[in-house]
């Protein structure tokens, strides 16, 4: 191996970048691709990269890794913990952290490309590796598609991708069919009327409007969803005011919605809009709230046949215990756009990064939620080994499976 994957990972982890700002990350990736002699183009969909390894006739397998980090303040206490900061789309200076493992995704992809490049005798066809920006905004895949990634490069016969998850290191989690939820991100502005904190009666208080709205939004899941169906309504962000004694004119809330399919989506979207407007009415607002859809993520549906093939291949390589059904994830992804736009199958899987004994102990103690930091947590910290190796191998085996 030429690449020092551990060093690459630690460097990426220390230097996280927010969505569509992955310029340093893309520079690092391009440098390694160049060093490996792999053909690639940069700047696709703003900061994305596509790399190609051509190896005779055969299928075209697309492998996808996402690159962006999150506005989270790292609290892992690791030597290589991030202290980076960035400017978010609203111009606010925020801490930045790879709290979702995309640094590991990039690292494993680079490792896999090196191996695939070195073992062209074992497969034939074409590999396209996509380093995608802005998965966290749900818009990076579409940005690359809008920038013609599907026509500028060999069209896929299948799209593959993987994501780090709070599973035991060494394991792969995958299931046929519905693997991840559909999702929308909403940005809502509630319009009140500002004034002095001592005279609430001269104002329309947007803080109370926001609070009542958040409480009411809970009822969509608790009362208006079939208890057997999955739905999530999360208000991830709520902002209003600058000072305790000034009632501000507006409040903003950012909502993340999850559902298993498009029918459920329509129902929940209607209810969210309905509640937001009614609660503004209850506050006596004279202006309707502004509701903006920031992004729409499709459900991630794994192709049945292709998934079964991969499960068999991985079980053969890693042992049967290393491949498990993680159930449907309520998280969402924009990887599907690449496959649905091209009209080809997708397989998207998870791989674990948690120290196996710690994982087992937490499960036994029933303290998994408290003790195993999930994605987006400020404590998210995959162990390096065998996480890196298993991520590389999972990709290599999967790619070859469809290139024989």
Q: Rule CB under 8 A: which of 273-332 touch a copy of itself?
A: 274-275, 277-279, 281-284, 294, 327-332
Binding segment for a copy of itself (CB under 8 A), chosen from 120-128, 147-155, 200-208, 335-343, is 200-208
End-to-end, the C-alpha distance of the chain in Å comes to 24
Q: How many residues bind a copy of itself (CB under 8 A)?
A: 96
Residue with tokens 């309504």: 233
Tell me whether residue 210 or residue 403 sits nearer to a copy of itself (CB atom): 210
Q: Is 355 exposed, middle or buried (0-12, 13-18, 19+ CB in 10 A)?
A: middle
Q: Closest approach of Cβ 213 to a copy of itself, in Å?
A: 8
Element holding 220 (H helix, E strand): helix 206-223
Site membership for a copy of itself, residue 244 (CB under 8 A): yes
Site membership for a copy of itself, residue 85 (CB under 8 A): no
Chain residues 354-393 in contact with a copy of itself, contact rule CB under 8 A: 369-370, 374-378
Chain residues 222-241 in contact with a copy of itself, contact rule CB under 8 A: 222-228, 230-241
Nearest CA among 103, 41, 57 for reference residue 384: 103
Binding segment for a copy of itself (CB under 8 A), chosen from 61-69, 109-117, 247-255, 340-348, is 247-255
Total residue length of the chain: 404
Q: Is 376 annotated as a binding residue?
A: no
Give CA separation, 400 vs 124, 246, 392, in Å. 8, 62, 12
> Per-residue x/- mask for a copy of itself, residues 170 to 189, rule CB under 8 A?
-----------x-x-xxx--
Tell me whether residue 57 or residue 90 sits nearer to a copy of itself (CB atom): 90
DSSP result, 75-97: -S--TT----EEE-TTS-EEE-B
Distance CA 51, CA 110 (A): 10
Site membership for a copy of itself, residue 87 (CB under 8 A): no
Tell me whether residue 273 or residue 315 sits nearer to a copy of itself (CB atom): 273
Site membership for a copy of itself, residue 205 (CB under 8 A): yes
Chain residues 148-167 in contact with a copy of itself, contact rule CB under 8 A: none
Distance CA 144, CA 50 (A): 9
Tell me whether residue 136 or residue 393 sits nearer to a copy of itself (CB atom): 136
Q: Is 100 annotated as a binding residue?
A: yes
Task: Classify strands 125-132 and 60-66 as parallel, antiparallel or unpaired.
Answer: parallel
Site membership for a copy of itself, residue 200 (CB under 8 A): yes
Residue selected from 1, 121, 199, 357 as contacting a copy of itself according to rule CB under 8 A: 199
Give CA separation, 57 vs 54, 277, 404, in Å. 9, 57, 10
Site membership for a copy of itself, residue 76 (CB under 8 A): no
Q: Is 136 annotated as a binding residue?
A: yes
Give CA separation, 322 vs 207, 220, 312, 354, in Å. 49, 38, 11, 13
Tell me whether residue 210 or residue 394 sits nearer to a copy of itself (CB atom): 210
Q: Is 389 annotated as a binding residue?
A: no
User: In whole angstroms, what separates CA 334 from the centre of its chain?
Assistant: 8
Binding segment for a copy of itself (CB under 8 A), chosen from 4-12, 36-44, 69-77, 154-162, is 69-77
Q: Closest approach of Cβ 386 to a copy of itself, in Å?
A: 24
In degrees to the nearest 10, what's the CA dihedral of 117, 399, 375, 339? Answer: 120
Distance CA 331, CA 336 (A): 13
Are the C-beta atoms of 69 and 79 separated by less than 8 Å? no
Which residues carry a binding-site annotation for Mn(2+)?
100, 102, 136, 163
């Amino acid at each position: 191996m030429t690449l020092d994957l551990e060093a690459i990972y630690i460097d990426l982890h220390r230097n996280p970048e927010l969505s569509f700002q992955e310029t340093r990350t893309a520079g690092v990736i391009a440098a390694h691709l160049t060093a490996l002699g792999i053909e690639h183009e940069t700047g696709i969909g703003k900061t994305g990269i596509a790399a190609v390894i051509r190896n005779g006739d055969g299928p075209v397998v697309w492998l996808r890794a996402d690159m962006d980090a999150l506005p989270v303040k790292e609290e892992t206490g690791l030597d290589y913990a991030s202290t980076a900061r960035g400017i978010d789309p609203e111009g606010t200076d925020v801490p930045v952290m790879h709290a979702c493992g995309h640094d590991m995704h990039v690292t494993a992809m680079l490792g896999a490309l090196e191996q695939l490049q070195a073992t062209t005798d074992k497969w034939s066809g074409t590999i396209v590796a996509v380093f995608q920006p802005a998965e966290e905004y749900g818009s990076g895949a579409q940005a690359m598609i809008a920038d013609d990634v599907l026509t500028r490069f060999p069209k896929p016969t299948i799209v593959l991708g993987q994501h780090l998850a709070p599973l035991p290191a060494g394991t792969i989690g995958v299931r046929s069919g519905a693997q991840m939820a559909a999702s929308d991100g909403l940005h809502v502005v509630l319009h009140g009327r500002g004034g002095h904190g001592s005279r609430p009666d001269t104002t329309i208080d947007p803080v109370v409007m926001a609070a009542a709205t958040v409480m009411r939004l809970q009822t969509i899941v608790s009362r208006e969803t079939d208890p057997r169906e999955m739905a999530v309504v999360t208000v991830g962000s709520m902002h209003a005011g600058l000072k305790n004694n000034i009632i501000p004119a507006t409040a903003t809330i950012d909502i993340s919605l999850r559902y298993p399919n498009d029918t459920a989506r329509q129902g929940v979207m209607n209810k969210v809009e309905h509640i937001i407007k009614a609660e503004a009415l209850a506050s006596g607002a004279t202006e309707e709230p502004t509701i903006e859809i920031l992004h729409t993520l499709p459900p991630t549906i794994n192709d049945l046949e292709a998934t079964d093939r991969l499960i068999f291949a991985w079980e053969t390589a890693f042992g049967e215990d290393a491949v498990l059904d993680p159930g449907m994830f309520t998280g969402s992804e924009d990887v599907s756009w690449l496959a649905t736009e091209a009209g080809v199958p997708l397989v998207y899987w998870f791989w674990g990064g948690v120290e196996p004994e710690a994982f087992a102990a937490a499960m036994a103690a029933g303290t998994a939620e408290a003790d195993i930091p999930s994605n987006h947590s400020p404590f998210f910290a995959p162990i390096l080994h065998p996480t890196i190796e298993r991520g590389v191998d999972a990709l290599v085996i999967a790619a070859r499976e469809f290139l024989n």
